[in-house]
């Protein structure tokens, strides 16, 4: 079939403001999730994870919220800084016919305005 390029949603925020990046996941049985940050020319960098027995988890300047009812994950970044500009991916751990693996969302590009 024809390959369609991914059009990354972009979130632009003012430096110092809070950012909220959203992700819808596909499998209601998924029980482990990770948020990654990817800067240009680099591999994805682990930010924070959460298991399905939790609704919220906090790290340094970041908070992940999990809403299992609507299969929704969000990443909140407090006091966004220029160094936060990157593409952010959510990943869900799924079980398929072969075993477990991570399925990644398309990503959101965060642009921090001075």
Partner 1 sequence: KAGVTQTPRYLIKTRGQQVTLSCSPISGHRSVSWYQQTPGQGLQFLFEYFSETQRNKGNFPGRFSGRQFSNSRSEMNVSTLELGDSALYLCASSFSVQYEQYFGPGTRLTVT
CB of 12 to partner 1, least distance (A): 21
CA dihedral 94, 88, 84, 75 (to 10 degrees): -60
DSSP-assigned beta bridge partners for residue 45? 37
Residues 18 and 30: their CA atoms lie apart, in Å, by: 28
CB of 94 to partner 1, least distance (A): 9
Q: How many residues of this chain bind partner 1 (CB under 8 A)?
A: 28
Residues found in the chain? 114
Residues 56 and 66: their CA atoms lie apart, in Å, by: 6
> Which residues in 59-98 contact partner 1 (CB under 8 A)?
89, 91, 93, 96, 98
Q: Which stretch binds partner 1 (CB under 8 A): 17-25, 61-69, 72-80, 104-112?
A: 104-112
Binding residue for partner 1 (CB under 8 A) from 1, 83, 99, 114?
99
């Amino acid at each position: 079939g024809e390959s369609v390029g991914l059009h990354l949603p972009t979130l632009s925020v003012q430096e110092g403001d809070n950012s909220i990046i959203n992700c819808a996941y596909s499998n209601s049985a998924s029980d482990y999730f990770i948020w990654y940050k990817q800067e240009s020319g680099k591999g994805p960098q682990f930010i924070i994870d959460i298991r399905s027995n939790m609704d919220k988890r906090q790290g340094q300047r970041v908070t992940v919220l999990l809403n299992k009812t609507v299969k929704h994950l969000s990443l909140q970044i407090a006091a966004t800084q220029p160094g936060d500009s990157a593409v952010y991916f959510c990943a869900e751990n799924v079980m398929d016919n072969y075993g477990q693996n991570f399925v990644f969302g398309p990503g959101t590009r965060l642009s921090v305005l001075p």
